[in-house]
Amino acid sequence: MCYLHATQFRSLTRSHNFKVLYVDYDGGVIGKSVSDAYQDLRGDSFPTLHEVAPREYPQPSDIRDAVCRGKYWGAIYAKSDGSVNLTSALGSGASTPTSLAYVWNGARYPVFSQSVVYSNLLKLIQTTRSTYYDNNGSSVATTANFSIPATLKAFVDPIQAEQINIKETEEGTRVFYNTISMAMPIVQQFFYMLALNGIGSVFDAFTQLLWKTNALLRLTVSLLYTFVGALCMTGYIWAYRETWHQTGSHFALTWMILWLLMHINILFFDIITAFVEIQWMPYIVLTWVILNVASTITPFEMSPAFFRWGYALPSHEAYQVLMQIWSGGCNNRLYQAVPIMFSWWTIGVPTSVFAMYYRCRKAVAGVELSDREIQEKNVATEYQTVTEIHDSDGEWRGNDDEVQALPVQRFD
């Protein structure tokens, strides 16, 4: 638990690790107000705003794509002619224009996207309004005709913003996706492996069947079990998704990645239980759960740099792929996740075969040792004493170098 708590140590002071894109298509007072507002908010507890020239992102769709790819956690941009349209609204009484737009992805670590990215974007917009008043309020107040209701409304609320949420994720169960849902594939496989080993011992499978047969049987059963387990997990995620829109193809892809994750975990426990005594397994299981959940519970931007070794853990990579599936292809990390997860799997399969070979040899050796002990015990029982045979006169009869061991007989 110390490890898990350490991932959140002073996490709020690392909000600056979240990168937010800013593009000023306006080039007027509104665009400048956004920059000035960020200077007022800038600090460790606020995301870092990267201001980029419009030529790098010529269209607003390019900004959305940058957030979708995961290059930035969010973005804000001042719309073209926003300042001109606001001046026109203040002068003519036209409706207040939408001068800003902000982009974020609600499916990417939903809790943190909402609490760190979304909330701070709103805070930046609110501060932009205040900055606009500070820079332009006096001059506007002396020239505007506040007898016109639309003009007064434009002055009271000059900065209108449009939200672009790439994938809304508002269901209550979203808090479980990167927490308890990442622990269950581990715990579930451990208890199943205990049951499988127990059944194998009861029916003497490790001694009566060849190790190759045992390995093939174990691999087949584990594939079928994780296939069904992944289906059940995907099913209850879908059953409680509320209004969260996901398609049938998303269901199949979720099922597939959870199947791979579960099979990696069952291979892990198949290997470990072959070499580690059962009394030590609770410590290994708890450690494995904590390490994997700690790699998914928060973005690495919120944790000390040390914990980024968690990129190598299968649960972290599985959750990266799940976020890509659920957000419609955004936050693409397949180039990283697929090699890591298949490395675990390709190493795990042959290692589990060797573990079965070791398990069967150990079981056969145990049976042979037990048989020898029983045989020796029977011999010791049969020959309990050595009887010396004498003549009737009480003197020894026979060779002094020979002693004959005779079975003990009871005479009534």
Residue 141: count other Cβ atoms within 10 Å of its Cβ: 12
Structure confidence at residue 409 as a pLDDT band (50, 70, 90)? very low
Lowest average pLDDT, out of 50-54, 84-88, 215-219, goes to 84-88
Q: Are 318 and 344 in contact (CB under 8 A)?
A: no
More confident residue, 108 or 89: 108
Burial letters 262-275, b for 16+ CB under 10 A, else e: bbbbbbbbbbbbbe
Q: Could you give the residue range(s) of every CATH 3.40.1710.10 domain in the chain? A: 2-166
Helix segments in 113-210, DSSP class H: 119-143, 149-156, 180-202, 205-208
Residue 123: is its pLDDT beyond 60? yes
CA-nearest of 360, 356, 180, 189 to 268 is 189
The pLDDT value given to residue 224:
96
Q: How far apart are CA 311 and CA 334, in angstroms?
A: 13
SS3 102: strand
Strand partners, 93: none
Residue 387: is its pLDDT beyond 50? no
Q: What's the pLDDT tens digit per position in 322-354?
A: 999 999 999 999 999 999 999 999 999 999 999
Q: Are 293 and 314 in contact (CB under 8 A)?
A: no
Q: How far apart are CA 47 and CA 243, in angstroms?
A: 30
- Parallel/antiparallel/unpaired status of strands 74-78 and 98-104: antiparallel
Q: What's the pLDDT tens digit per position in 13-31?
A: 899 999 999 999 998 899 9
User: Is 2-166 a CATH 3.40.50.300 domain?
Assistant: no
Q: How far apart are CA 337 and CA 296, in angstroms?
A: 13
Lowest average pLDDT, out of 17-21, 48-52, 200-204, goes to 200-204
Task: Give pTM, 2 decimals.
Answer: 0.86
Question: Considering the chain, what percentage of its residues have pLDDT values greater than 90?
Answer: 65
The pLDDT value given to residue 70:
93
Span 97-120, mean pLDDT? Answer: 94
CA-nearest of 160, 166, 8 to 74 is 166
Lowest average pLDDT, out of 106-115, 136-145, 184-193, 280-289, goes to 136-145
Structure-token pair, residue 197: 């080993």
Residue 395: is its pLDDT beyond 60? no
Question: Considering the chain, what percentage of its residues have pLDDT values greater than 70?
Answer: 87
CA-nearest of 173, 164, 166 to 327 is 166
Q: How far apart are CA 5 and CA 20, in angstroms?
A: 27
The pLDDT value given to residue 313:
96
The pLDDT value given to residue 146:
66
Structure-token pair, residue 5: 């708590």
Residues 6+ apart with CB under 8 A from 397: 389, 390, 391
Q: Are 72 and 80 in contact (CB under 8 A)?
A: no
Crossing angle for the helix pair 281-294 and 248-275, to the nearest 10 degrees: 150
Q: What's the pLDDT tens digit per position in 30-45?
A: 999 999 999 999 999 9
Q: How far apart are CA 21 and CA 72, in angstroms?
A: 6
